[in-house]
Structure formats: structure tokens, C-alpha cells
Structure 1
Amino acid sequence: MNKLKVLLLSMVLALVSIVATQAQNNNQQTIKIKTSAVCDMCKTTLEKAMAYEKGVKSSSLDVDSKMLTVTFDARKTDANKIKKAVTAVGYDADELPAQDRAYNKLDDCCKKGAHQ
């Protein structure tokens, strides 16, 4: 009888674990943001900044296309907050322009038109 209880309890815990994992994945979203990033230093700066943003799970900048891909927990943040975080680092984020103060602090190689 005790073995049956242990087996039943194990099955219930496994089911709860599966449901919790599924719920967590349902709250995960990925967005792509067109940035004004131009070099590998920009890539490092943006990816590091995103790592400190609440709810962000991962980020990756494709320097050639200037696209920042961000995966985040929708319960903790949203696309607009992430875009604002990008502008706060000094880069454009889709239709949002970079914050002037942050942009002015960027190295010259990271400014728009530096690599044209």
C-alpha cells in the first residue's frame, strides 16, 4: 500500500512539474527590434544591457542586419519596456530614437554612420 502511495505521489508531482514548465513557456515571448547598432562593441553593449533588464531571458544582436532578438518573460516585462531600455543605452529601437544623453556617451565607432 505504501508503494502505491509513493507511486501516486510521484506521478502527481511529475504532472505538476510538467504543467508548471508548460505555463512558464507560454509566458515566454521573443521580439525583434531594429536598432542603430553598427559594430561588435555595440553588440556587447546592447547584450550586456539586456542581461540586466528584468524578465529578459536572452538577447542577441545581428550586427549586419542591426536586429536585436530578445526573449523575455511576459509576466515581468513587455516589448515597450525593452525598447525603452535599448534607447536608454544610446541606440534607436524601431521607431523610438536613442536618448540623446546616452547616445552622446557612446564611443565614436558606435554612432550612426560611423561605418558607412
Structure 2
Amino acid sequence: MKQSIVKIFFVLVVLFSFSTAAFAQKGTQKAVIKTFLHCDHCKKCETCGEKFKVEMLNIKGVKMYELDDKAMTFTVYYNSKKTDLQSIREAISKMGYDADDVKADSEAYENLDGCCKA
């Protein structure tokens, strides 16, 4: 009797875990955005690195991002119910960086540290 209760409990926990994971994934999208970076400095430095991190996570709907300076890409995880990919590209542009076919905003680009410019 006790073993069957434990088995039922285990099955319920597993089913709950799968249903929670499936529910959490609804609306979450992943996109890789091509950019142009000159170094990995922007990820680390006190001025542009922290500003970059804060601004990326303040883009409406963006849950998480990864910056790959070698591949020159952003992998962005976002809630498609709150934003779309074009809005994210435009927000990145306003930070001074290219985002796929959306070129960096010229004023924002001028405000970047010297090493981040071509």
C-alpha cells in the first residue's frame, strides 16, 4: 500500500513538472540577431558593459540574452506576447549597435566608448 502511494506521488510530481515546463515555454521565443562588435570589452567594462546589460534587460519582453562576440550575435529569449523581433532589433539599434538589417542609431553609436566603434 505504502509503495503504491509513493509511486502515485512520484508520477504526479513528474507530470506536474512537465506541465509546468510546457506552460512556462508558451510565448517564449528565441532569436539570433547578427550585430557588429569589435571586441568583448562591452561585456566587461564598468561603463558600457553594465549599461549594455541593463538596457538589454529593459527591452520590453526580453527575458534573457547571450552575447557572442566571436560570432558577433545576440541570442535573445523573449516573450512573444509582449514584443516582437523587430521591436527588439530597433531597441538594440537605439543602444548604438547594428541588429540584423537595422543599422545602429547614429547618435547612440557616437555615445559608445571608442573601442566599440569601427
| TM-score normalised to structure 2 length | 0.72
Structure 1 equivalent of residue 76 of structure 2: 70
Cα offset for 1:55? 1.1
Q: How does 1:79-90 map to 2 (within 5 A)?
A: 79-90=85-96
Letter matched to residue 24 of structure 2: Q
CA contact 1:54–1:76 (8 Å) conserved in 2: yes
1:16-75 Cα shifts (integer Å, max 9, x gaps): x96565233121000000111222233335433211112111001100111100001111
Identity of aligned residues (%): 36
Which residue of 60, 77, 86 corresponds with 1:54? 60
63-72 or 43-52, larger mean C-alpha shift: 43-52
Q: How large is the RMSD of aligned CA atoms in angstroms?
A: 2.1
Is there any run of 5+ residues in structure 1 with no aligned partner, and where? 1-10
**Separation (CA, whole Å) in 1 of partners of 2:90 and 2:52:** 12
CA contact 1:46–1:61 (8 Å) conserved in 2: no
Alignment length, in residue pairs? 99
